[in-house]
A and B are shown apart, each in its own frame.
Chain A
Amino acid sequence: MNKTAVEKIFSEKSGTDSRAGDYVVANVDYVMANDITAPIAIDAFNDLGMKAKSDKIIIIPDHFIPPKDINSAIQYKKSKDFALNNGTWLYDIGNGGVCHQVMMEKGFAAPGRLIAGADSHTNTYGALSAISTGIGSTEAGVIFATGKMWFKVPETIKINLNGKPSRGVEGKDIILNILFRIKNGGAAYKCMEFSGDIKYIDINERMTMANMTTEAGAKCSFFDTDEKTIEYLKQRNTGEYKIVKSDDNADFDQTIEINMNEIEPSIAIPNSPDNVKHVSEVHERIDQAYIGSCTNGRIEDIRKAASILKGRKVDRRVRLMVVPASQEVYNQALREGLIDTIVEAGGYFSGTTCGACLGGYMGVLGPDEVCVSSTNRNFIGRMGDKTSRVYLANPSIVAASAILGRIGTPEEI
């Protein structure tokens, strides 16, 4: 054998001996859609007039949840009714959250699985050694009906992570530096596989990294499985899974060496996630600081933010928004008293939603406003007006900046 992990998984799921470049029709373990993408998928599904593969389908309304206006309410209801009428999985207000966080928390993501999601950041489950990839809505609808989909087996870029990251350097900083190297579109159609000293990277940070492989244009991501993976899965209702690993002599498209000990806290400046600088070079004034999203809205992120905010006050010019990535994260933050800390510092802590991450609602930027955000995209107009500007950084930097009123680091406060 000399195959990459992704070649092995596509071979198994399609019952073929496939290699990078081959087109296969593969059985998908799970298919996920949210309130934006499910309605179009449901139309496609209805067009086919077949029975739903209910046990494979997960509906997670998140983008405009709770509904922000009448049209969103219609889309939300359509998604929910489909789930209820067809007996699919449904994670709704009260037990859901941002779709990718829910997929990992609820045990759908696990090693060796093939998961398709009608959302571009489906790449995230590679953190748990699954092959997961973003698809469109029409094809999600086809999977609802048939349980399978066509794929081109991707080539793999192997990323060797060496050394131990310095203090203050998080998964976000590592992936920003990788994006700086690879560039937007630089991993187009490919799998980004991470190995090496991954023992220094916790699962939540692997999720941040896997999440932002989307910004390099990757089809999917893949972290090797280790004790940290197994430990995370043990705490979930995961079911059976199969550990898969690339062979040493597999045919990699390229190998990139990253010295994690050389990475400094970093920031992506407008208007592209690959436009990365050391955070110490940037001092821009901010109007909004945002901690949340499938990138960095997990309990570990909120803990970091709270520890910086404790006993301090958010600058009066800044609105600090903290939006947990799921209800589970919210509940945990509540139990640990983190919400108190954030609110006492003058932050706004809300229920879970995508909301402002995509400029949807609840924190939309006005003309010329500047936001430092723990999310994954800073394209023109991503979080609001076309003249607003978004900087992407880890949640500790976002929290410190909220206090400083400008972009800065925890060391500066």
Chain B
Amino acid sequence: MVTTISGRAIVLGDNVDTDQIIPAKYLNTSDPDKLAPHFMENEYPDLAGSIKNGDIIVAGKNFGSGSSREHAVITIKGLGISCIIAESFARIFFRNAINTGIPVIEAKVTANNFEKITVDFQNSRILYSGSEIKFKEYPEFLKNIIESNGLINYVRSGKW
């Protein structure tokens, strides 16, 4: 598993739901390249185009609420997002992210849009503009899945 990630913050608010992340009309495909351009397009039509590989989503409460669609995680992966930080996550979104190997972190971060953020997994901390925020370490069980880079690899490894 990577030990540190750095990227620009893409700042979003509270209650970002899966209908916003990827509207249902695009659910007739699961191709990341086709989904990614429609990320949040109802709310912020220009956002997807401004996201660069390695950017980090920084959101508020209840990120990813709504449907179970893994398309939401696939869309975010398709954009090249390296990590999602939110004050809290909706349950299935959290599972989907862990199971597909995208690091998700519960923490309250007040960075500005496009500000540089560094996530230091080894010391469970987030660094930006002079602030340091600690986050809770994953329980052992989830660490194993993330370290295997997702559930499929974890099951294959025979530890399951």
Instruction: Given A142-B151, A184-B62, A386-B42, decide whether A71 and B28 contact each other with a Cβ distance below 8 A.
Output: yes
B: contact size bracket: 35 or more
Instruction: Given A217-B91, A359-B23, decide whether A48 and B15 contact each other with a Cβ distance below 8 A.
Output: no
Residues A188 and B91 in contact, CB atoms below 8 Å apart: yes
Q: How many residue pairs, one in A and one in B, have C-beta atoms under 8 Å apart?
A: 129
Pick from A145, A188, A380: contact of B19, CB below 8 A: A380
Please count how many residues in chain A sit with their CB below 8 Å of the partner chain's CB atoms.
Answer: 50
Pick from B68, B73, B155: contact of A146, CB below 8 A: B155
Which chain A residues lie closer than 8 Å to B42 at the CB level? 380-381, 386
B100 close to chain A: CB less than 8 A: yes
Within the complex, the shortest CB–CB distance from B132 to chain A, in Å, comes to: 27
Within the complex, the shortest CB–CB distance from A131 to chain B, in Å, comes to: 14
Within the complex, the shortest CB–CB distance from A366 to chain B, in Å, comes to: 13
Residues A379 and B25 in contact, CB atoms below 8 Å apart: no
Pick from A64, A68, A217: contact of B90, CB below 8 A: A217
Residues A64 and B28 in contact, CB atoms below 8 Å apart: yes
Residues A380 and B43 in contact, CB atoms below 8 Å apart: yes
Instruction: Given A69-B28, A358-B24, decide whether A135 and B155 contact each other with a Cβ distance below 8 A.
Output: no
Within the complex, the shortest CB–CB distance from B42 to chain A, in Å, comes to: 4
Within 8 A of B (CB), among A150-178: 150
Which chain A residues lie closer than 8 Å to B30 at the CB level? 39-40, 43
Within the complex, the shortest CB–CB distance from A407 to chain B, in Å, comes to: 22
Residues B99 and A136 in contact, CB atoms below 8 Å apart: yes
A132 close to chain B: CB less than 8 A: no
Residues B19 and A382 in contact, CB atoms below 8 Å apart: yes
Instruction: Given A25-B160, A138-B96, decide whether A381 and B20 contact each other with a Cβ distance below 8 A.
Output: yes
Within 8 A of B (CB), among A78-131: 117-120, 122
Interface string of B16-35 (1 = CB under 8 A from A): 01011001110111100000
Residues A136 and B155 in contact, CB atoms below 8 Å apart: no
Residues A120 and B152 in contact, CB atoms below 8 Å apart: no
Residues A136 and B96 in contact, CB atoms below 8 Å apart: yes
CA distance A384 to B147 in the complex (A): 39
CA distance A134 to B66 in the complex (A): 11
Which chain B residues lie closer than 8 Å to A36 at the CB level? 27, 69, 71
Within 8 A of B (CB), among A22-54: 23, 25, 36-37, 39-40, 43-44, 47-48
CA distance A188 to B100 in the complex (A): 21
A374 close to chain B: CB less than 8 A: no
Residues B70 and A37 in contact, CB atoms below 8 Å apart: yes
Within the complex, the shortest CB–CB distance from B156 to chain A, in Å, comes to: 7
Residues A48 and B156 in contact, CB atoms below 8 Å apart: yes
Instruction: Given A136-B99, A377-B19, A386-B42, decide whether A37 and B69 contact each other with a Cβ distance below 8 A.
Output: yes
Which chain A residues lie closer than 8 Å to B73 at the CB level? 136
Residue of A nearest to B17 (CB): A379
Pick from B24, B62, B139: contact of A217, CB below 8 A: B62
Q: Which of A72, A136, A381 has the most CB of B within 10 A?
A: A136
CA distance A207 to B95 in the complex (A): 25
A303 close to chain B: CB less than 8 A: no
Residue of A nearest to B24 (CB): A358
Within the complex, the shortest CB–CB distance from B2 to chain A, in Å, comes to: 20
Which chain B residues lie closer than 8 Å to A219 at the CB level? 91
Which chain B residues lie closer than 8 Å to A272 at the CB level? 15
Which chain A residues lie closer than 8 Å to B65 at the CB level? 184-185, 217
B61 close to chain A: CB less than 8 A: yes
B103 close to chain A: CB less than 8 A: no
Residues B62 and A142 in contact, CB atoms below 8 Å apart: no
- What 7 new A-B contacts, CB under 8 Å, besides A134-B91, A380-B20? A37-B70, A75-B29, A138-B150, A141-B152, A146-B160, A217-B91, A386-B42
**Chain A residues at the B interface, C-beta cutoff of 8 Å:** 23, 25, 36-37, 39-40, 43-44, 47-48, 63-64, 68-69, 71-72, 75, 117-120, 122, 134-139, 141-142, 145-146, 148, 150, 184-185, 188-189, 217, 219, 272, 358-360, 377, 379-382, 386
22 contacts between A and B (CB under 8 A): A23-B139, A36-B27, A36-B71, A48-B152, A64-B28, A69-B28, A120-B68, A134-B92, A136-B68, A138-B70, A138-B100, A138-B151, A139-B95, A139-B99, A146-B155, A184-B62, A185-B61, A185-B88, A217-B62, A219-B91, A377-B19, A379-B17
